[in-house]
Structure 1
Amino acid sequence: MDISVIIARMICVVYLSVGMGFAFSTAYYNQAFRKIVNDSTYLFLGGWVATCMGAVLVHIHNLWVNDWRLLITIISWTILLKGITLLAFPRAIRLFEEWFTPRGIQNYFLPIVIMLGLIFGYFGFFA
């Protein structure tokens, strides 16, 4: 099986699971985001995990092609850059604090995560 399909399936499951969590447990995610923003341990751990995952994804899937697989590459680089930013500049997360409110979760995260989950689900399971 192509590595792009495997990654698409993984992203689909994770994004749709998180999207359902955003939809049905907004208060829980708001509280979790507050903890992340205000606790250096969570920021460090999140940055470390994101840097490792991003580096692995960029290493195995750095395909600058003109099809759907480019989305995986862009997400991979975004994850890597997010991790590096969290480790090098942890207070930069404050720039996105508005996104960590119940309204922000519903307006920013939920539609993006569900849409990407469905796109990757299509390419990972049906295309």
Structure 2
Amino acid sequence: MLFNKEYYSKAFEYLLESTTYLIIGGILAVVFGLLILEYHTIWSDNWTVLITVIGWIALFKGILLLVFPKSFNRFKYLFKSKGFINFLTVFIILFGCLFIYFGFFSY
């Protein structure tokens, strides 16, 4: 995403148009959300609560994808703008760096 924004922009648009990919993505999101919540439902006042929140977001997103797969076509305009792809790239890198820090250096 960092070096080939046009490719990923088109790929995201294609994924949002294909109902099959949306349903498979919904099933995977529900499965991974439930797995995270089954093994890591910790509501504490430190950074580990982020994992529980990610589990709930994945479960909610998966349910929405399975119940309303075509409603996600509304988000196609976001992926056409280069600003959103840049934001998404920076967000993913920062989120990864945050978990690298918490996983390896915070203890």
Normalization by structure 1: what TM-score? Answer: 0.76
Point out which structure has higher relative CO (alpha carbons under 8 A, 6+ apart).
Answer: 1
| Total equivalences in the alignment | 105
2:16 paired residue among 30, 34, 37: 37
* Corresponding position of 2:53: 74
2:17 touches 2:73 (CA, 8 Å); kept in 1?
no
SS at match of 1:23: coil
Aligned to 1:99: 78
- d(CA) in 1 for partners of 2:38, 2:10: 33
Poorly superposed stretches of 4+, deviation over 4 Å: none
Distance 2:78 2:67 in 1: 21
Structure 2 unaligned blocks of 5 or more: none
Alignment RMSD, CA only? 1.4
C-alpha deviation, 1:28, in angstroms: 2.1
Shift of 1:73: 1.0
Q: Which has the larger radius of gyration?
A: 2
TM-score (norm 2): 0.88
Q: Structure 1 unaligned runs (5+)?
A: 1-21
**2:19 touches 2:70 (CA, 8 Å); kept in 1?**
no
